[in-house]
Chain A
């Protein structure tokens, strides 16, 4: 892609499709509200600065500040209340919208068709499958399968990040964390695995891995 194309793009991860469907979905609404608020604030700012610009020989407004005098309060309680309650309702609404996809993320038991044990260390990923076989760095998964990942760390905190799937879960020593993913939501192919929690010298290269979704059901 060209640089301009890159700069204008909005690369929404495929995993967000679950909550990007339709104008009332979470990511769509967040996007539209962001644009609306930005245009509103920038528009108001530009309008005010242009409309009320100081011209040569303009007198000061009657309530202009004077040194050593606390200015009289300028307020309008109705409009202040309005722009307190408006944003309050908006963020509550977005919180409410966030709960739906969140339920889905948190319910790791949905990954009932396959379980992969992930062991992270400085600096490699070790994947143990249900049949006891083990791979390092490369994770091979069948298509259309709901997979649960059980994550453990040998040394420091790592974070298991699959950008194409939009999942990320910290790998914490002394604890088992878990996350899940349905491989049916992405096309078969090879996708990167990153470590997203800084873990030392090998963080940015030795922790690179790949996940391969095979073409046919295993």
Chain B
């Protein structure tokens, strides 16, 4: 207990020190915008006493309402406890948000739209000015008035002998709507959908009340008994399904954003979206796909399968796991709340400073974008701790490290990457949040900060992140290919080492995202070499998959087709990765559509196709039923060709020099862009086949047994769907007699396996 108190004190002291050393801006005090503040100083307010004083009374005789276009004479009156009837009595300045101000006589003057006193007008405490109302009388004019009263000694006194104050006045137009501001279209849509959902809910509930004769309480009770297990579960299988459901939902949302972007890019200079809207659309598309669709789908599979594959009853910390999950939809709501504050985050998913740290040109949703991602960072960190502990400590007898299924191995490498990478990004986000919200100066260029620092922090996380997204797909493909080729995976040991070395190399390649940012040439050369080296273990994996097929008995059902399709597509994505790794070529291709094509080949062609394969492969385990093969085949063929039609032309656009994140393009690229757009709509639409197949097969599919495909790993030893505690009895993993494998009896492959035995 004492130790705990001491730790608590230490943490408090650390927080206090942290708070006190945080760099603070003196140039951004309060809520006054900088241009206004400099005018205040220019007009002698700040030099007449440090703070505003209530002893100075300011009044402006505004009309009750204004009529459009009419000119009014306004009188400014200042009353002060500082007596002075002589020269230099005081001054003022006045600004308004509507209409235009003009000088009434030679005692006042107009500077940059602000009205202030002249040298002549310095000798009085009341001024007459004129104001012309705007032509739109539904508006509200806000006036801001500063006044200072001085004792006339001609010096700037800060000891209280001079005083100043600030006051605001609002004048409504004759037809102004008093109360809340006008409702945005998006908010109208939200309210409308709430009304529709509410009405539908009332109809559904009312129908049950009438047709079954239950009371309303009983009906809601029924719903609650259905919902409560999902809301309060700590079971890894239910949390896994929640993750996958959330991931697929955001995949759909983000897909719609992608369609909106392609609609804008149907023709050059399209006005479907404004630049700001386009910017927040690609930002939300990227952020959603990586953090709200990709990672949840992966960790949903990991939640469901890894405990089953290593023979554990649940994760190491089931309640922590529930917290990890619930931080995800909460963070997602925070990120998407940006749409209701006047525009979602628009800084790109990379959020480069100083654009993202500055107040200029970013929409208010950026604050929420930052805050929501901090929550997702916390969620991922907890998940990583949970998985590392489980995989290291909770394996069933016989499941040594070198006998884990390759999907579990891929998750092992991914969670180690996550554990080391995501806290860096979370810290960077907290610094960014402090800059944007508390006025600290970590990324402030004006204060001399290096804008490249953010890129280092971001890509130190960002590059391992893309391997976190792709490695689990490698795991899925390995399991699926071996099962449907009816042969053990070729080179299991080298597959494990390949994944581990991809994980290690991922930390020393990140600067290839910054080849044009002006880094040291030697550093860039080093990063080019390490980036190229990633191709070696990746190549080993591809060749091992192909070798696995040899001598097999290959069933090409939907699950297998998606895996083979992923291998083919990923190969192209890997090759273009080498092209952009070569600096001379990257200088031209960096930040063009070539890069967009490259990472969509990897992340859709690799990750998404891999996990589609996983959905078709493990669906019988989760539900006890097969998915429809005909629909599945249609889904594969349309997705595969739709994908290539949508993304292959982007390579060409990139070589032509079309930069990414552009809301328009040169007219010479119109035909290709139109083709890409139509293909993208097609690719997006056919994903509904998957939704339909899942819904249809969930209760209506053909029944499947415990091991419908003949896979070897432990999840196939339990029933489909697995019982509440996953296994009725913790299984022991057997080892096949290696003499069956007559091809390679000379190899001593059992050596590393035997070495691992003692650690389990």
Residues in A lying within 8 Å of B, measured CB to CB: 1-3, 6-7, 9-13, 15-16, 19, 26-27, 30, 34, 37-38, 41-42, 44-45, 48-49, 52-54, 58-77, 79-80, 83-84, 87-88, 91-92, 94-95, 97-99, 101-102, 105-106, 122, 155-157, 159, 161, 163-164, 166-170, 172-175, 177, 192, 194-205
A75:B588 contact, CB within 8 angstroms = no
Q: Which residues of B contact A84 (CB under 8 A)?
A: 494, 536, 539-540
Q: Which residues of A contact B736 (CB under 8 A)?
A: 63, 66, 69-72
A13:B717 contact, CB within 8 angstroms = no
A91:B552 contact, CB within 8 angstroms = no
Question: Min CB distance, B330 to chain A, in Å?
Answer: 28
B706 at interface by CB-CB < 8 Å:
yes
How far apart sit A44 and B550, CA to CA, in the bound complex (Å)? Answer: 10
How far apart sit A13 and B584, CA to CA, in the bound complex (Å)? Answer: 12
Which residues, 397 to 437 on B, are CB-close (under 8 Å) to A?
398, 403
B671:A3 contact, CB within 8 angstroms = yes
B540:A12 contact, CB within 8 angstroms = no
B518:A203 contact, CB within 8 angstroms = no
Q: Which residues of B contact A172 (CB under 8 A)?
A: 451-452, 517-518
Contact bitstring B543-582, A, C-beta under 8 A = 1, else 0: 1101111111111100000001001100110010011001
Contact bitstring B646-667, A, C-beta under 8 A = 1, else 0: 0011001001110101111010
Q: Which residues of A contact B661 (CB under 8 A)?
A: 198, 203-204
Q: Which residues of B contact A98 (CB under 8 A)?
A: 528, 582-585
Q: Which residues of A contact B716 (CB under 8 A)?
A: 67-68
How many residues of B are in contact with the other chain, CB < 8 A?
Answer: 115
B112 at interface by CB-CB < 8 Å:
no
B711:A67 contact, CB within 8 angstroms = yes
Most chain A beta-carbon contacts within 10 A, residue among B398, B482, B543, B551: B543
Q: Which residues of A contact B587 (CB under 8 A)?
A: 105, 166-168
Please name 7 pairs of A and B residues whose Cβ atoms are closer than 8 Å in the assembled complex, sorted by A: A41-B546, A49-B554, A49-B556, A76-B491, A80-B544, A83-B540, A94-B582
Chain A residue at minimal CB-CB distance from B358: A156
Q: Which residues of A contact B492 (CB under 8 A)?
A: 71, 73-75
How far apart sit A94 and B119, CA to CA, in the bound complex (Å)? Answer: 74
B217 at interface by CB-CB < 8 Å:
no
What 7 new A-B contacts, CB under 8 Å, besides A1-B671, A10-B655, A70-B736?
A2-B671, A30-B585, A63-B488, A168-B587, A169-B516, A194-B659, A204-B275
Known: A30-B579, A61-B553. A67 touches B717 (CB 8 A): yes
Contacting residue for B553 out of A60, A99, A194, CB 8 A: A60
B487:A63 contact, CB within 8 angstroms = yes
Q: Which residues of A contact B518 (CB under 8 A)?
A: 169-170, 172, 175, 177
Residues in B lying within 8 Å of A, measured CB to CB: 275-276, 278-279, 347-348, 352, 354-355, 358, 360-362, 398, 403, 445, 448-452, 482-483, 485-494, 516-518, 521, 525, 528-529, 532-533, 535-536, 539-540, 542-544, 546-556, 564, 567-568, 571-572, 575, 578-579, 582-585, 587-588, 590-592, 648-649, 652, 655-657, 659, 661-664, 666, 671-672, 675, 706-707, 710-712, 714, 716-717, 731, 733-738, 740-741, 743-744, 747, 749-750, 753
How far apart sit A155 and B354, CA to CA, in the bound complex (Å)? Answer: 8
Question: Min CB distance, B548 to chain A, in Å?
Answer: 8
Question: Min CB distance, B83 to chain A, in Å?
Answer: 48
How far apart sit A80 and B532, CA to CA, in the bound complex (Å)? Answer: 19
Q: Which residues of B contact A196 (CB under 8 A)?
A: 516, 590-592, 659
Known: A7-B672, A69-B733. A52 touches B485 (CB 8 A): yes
How far apart sit A92 and B398, CA to CA, in the bound complex (Å)? Answer: 41
A122:B361 contact, CB within 8 angstroms = yes
A157:B355 contact, CB within 8 angstroms = yes
How far apart sit A205 and B735, CA to CA, in the bound complex (Å)? Answer: 64
Contacting residue for A173 out of B451, B554, B659, B753, CB 8 A: B451
How far apart sit A37 and B579, CA to CA, in the bound complex (Å)? Answer: 13
The 7 closest A-B pairs by CB, nearest first: A163-B657, A71-B488, A65-B712, A73-B749, A48-B549, A91-B532, A204-B662
Question: Min CB distance, B312 to chain A, in Å?
Answer: 15
A9:B567 contact, CB within 8 angstroms = no
B528:A67 contact, CB within 8 angstroms = no
How far apart sit A79 and B744, CA to CA, in the bound complex (Å)? Answer: 12
Question: Min CB distance, B288 to chain A, in Å?
Answer: 17
How far apart sit A62 and B543, CA to CA, in the bound complex (Å)? Answer: 22
How far apart sit A175 and B279, CA to CA, in the bound complex (Å)? Answer: 26
Q: Which residues of A contact B403 (CB under 8 A)?
A: 70
Contacting residue for B659 out of A6, A83, A94, A161, CB 8 A: A161
Chain B residue at minimal CB-CB distance from A171: B518
Question: Min CB distance, B359 to chain A, in Å?
Answer: 11
Known: A10-B655, A73-B493, A105-B584. A45 touches B564 (CB 8 A): yes
B575:A34 contact, CB within 8 angstroms = yes
Q: Which residues of A contact B741 (CB under 8 A)?
A: 63, 72-74
B535:A68 contact, CB within 8 angstroms = no
Chain A residue at minimal CB-CB distance from B666: A192
Question: Min CB distance, B590 to chain A, in Å?
Answer: 6
